[in-house]
Amino acid sequence: QKPPSGHVIPMSASVVIGKIDRPMTLVFQDQDGMKIPTLRGPTAFVPAAMNASDYGLPNNGGEIAVSVERLLDPSNQECIGLPAALLVASMMTGKEPLTNLVATGGLAEDGSTVAVADLLTLLRGIPPAGDQIVLAPEGNLTQLYDLALMGKLDLLLQHQIYTAEDLKAAEAIALDPPERITRARALFADVQTLGTSMDFSELVTNASVRERLLEVLKHAPQHASAKVLLDAGSGGIPAAMTLEGSLFALEQAAMPIFKQMEGTADPVIESATVFAEIRSDLSSVRAKLDRSAVSLSDDLTDFVEELEEYSQLNNRTSSRGVGMLAQLRATWSRVGSTHQSLRSGAKSAPAGQEGGSG
């Protein structure tokens, strides 16, 4: 029931040249050089995708070792496919990857990109770095529209987010990109600067900003941040979030409760202001949620009321207080089960196909 957390995992690669007439193999290893057996999927799909994309690995029987500095959650291992392939492609072509590049995404055997779960959580976890480029599968575009529905201007502006339909399109953005990509980055940087002094609704409808966004898309049609902001200003966004976006919105709204229930034996929140903010945030997103997440929203709202009543008790060691705490724990367990079930559903459903408005 604990919300997922996003992390940027540095990667590097090394090559051992062989002398046998057979294709090179790809392995993943940790920072100590130990092979990671749980990454069998990417180990198979990345070479197949590279061969299908005309990056045929040499037939010398050698080995390409991709090192990751921390282990991945096995349930989310697909996110390493695209960045690993770009890393290997950089080695094979001699093209330098962009500075401040964060890539995520799976790869199919035909070289097309595969959407990943928890993209929004990853965006929240990436440290701001000015001209940061985030590259994701095209299938994750629907989750970026979720940010517009939430009014999360910071995440749409903090990073320049691009999407790619396949490995070749990703390479054109990430490895030694053409001048048009450089120009698009500079134009969007102007929008990022303007965004520091405007609220969301003002920014996306401002004529000067919209002109810049159109210019960004003229140079880089895959610039997802620009596309989503432009569509938000013209009413071209969906009416409801995806399930992934809905869970992200609820987790952000109720984060003080998630932290409190995970971290202490006595889950007391002293501030009435915190409770008021949680109720307000939950209420503001409810009408935009995927229908599957509405019941979780209502359960969280009810739990806020219970926790506030318990927090206001003068004597929480009394029989009443002990009974209320036991009830709180039982209620939270049920909320957690619902949350975990929905999280599993968001991971297994294709991006953009998790449900609908309710």
Alpha carbon distance 246, 240 (integer Å): 9
Q: Mark out the alpha helices in the chain (DSSP H runs).
A: 40-52, 81-93, 119-125, 141-150, 153-158, 167-174, 179-195, 200-205, 207-219, 224-233, 243-253, 255-263, 272-286, 294-311, 319-348
Backbone angles phi, psi at 58, to 5 degrees: -60, 145
Q: Which amino acid is at 341?
A: S
Q: What angle do CA 107, 113, 114 make, to 5 degrees?
A: 80
Q: Burial level of 74, CB count in 10 A (0-12/13-18/19+)?
A: exposed
Q: How would you classify the pairing of strands 133-137 and 160-164?
A: parallel
Contact 159, 165 (CB under 8 A): no
Nearest to 44, CA basis, from 16, 75, 70, 23: 23
For the residues 71-87, what does the mean pLDDT come to? 77
Q: Which amino acid is at 329?
A: R
Q: Burial level of 206, CB count in 10 A (0-12/13-18/19+)?
A: middle
What integer pLDDT is reported at residue 6 of this predicted model? Answer: 59
Question: What pLDDT band is residue 73 in, cutting at 50, 70 and 90?
Answer: low
Alpha carbon distance 220, 227 (integer Å): 10
Per-residue pLDDT of 120-135, as tens digits, reads 988 888 877 667 899 9
Per-residue pLDDT of 265-323, as tens digits, reads 778 888 899 999 999 999 999 999 999 999 999 999 999 999 999 999 999 999 999 99
Alpha carbon distance 286, 87 (integer Å): 41
Sign of the torsion angle spanned by Cα atoms 131, 136, 141, 146: negative
The model's pTM: 0.85
Alpha carbon distance 179, 187 (integer Å): 12
Q: What angle do CA 54, 58, 63 make, to 5 degrees?
A: 120
Nearest to 294, CA basis, from 237, 232, 250, 354: 250
What integer pLDDT is reported at residue 345 of this predicted model? Answer: 81
Strand partners, 64: 15, 26
What integer pLDDT is reported at residue 349 of this predicted model? Answer: 61
Question: What pLDDT band is residue 195 in, cutting at 50, 70 and 90?
Answer: confident
Looking at residue 291, the DSSP 8-state letter turns out to be: G
Q: Assign residue 94 a region: left if phi > 0, alpha if psi is -120 to 50, beta otherwise?
A: left
Looking at residue 139, the DSSP 8-state letter turns out to be: G
Nearest to 328, CA basis, from 351, 354, 308, 357: 308
22 has pLDDT over 60? yes
Q: Assign residue 199 a region: left if phi > 0, alpha if psi is -120 to 50, beta otherwise?
A: beta
Buried b (16+ CB within 10 A) or exposed e, 283-301: eebbebbbebbbebbebbb
For the residues 195-211, what does the mean pLDDT come to? 91
Q: Burial level of 313, CB count in 10 A (0-12/13-18/19+)?
A: middle
60 has pLDDT over 50? yes
Distances from the Cα of 211 to the Cαs of 81, 159, 183, 187, 208, in angstroms?
35, 19, 15, 10, 5
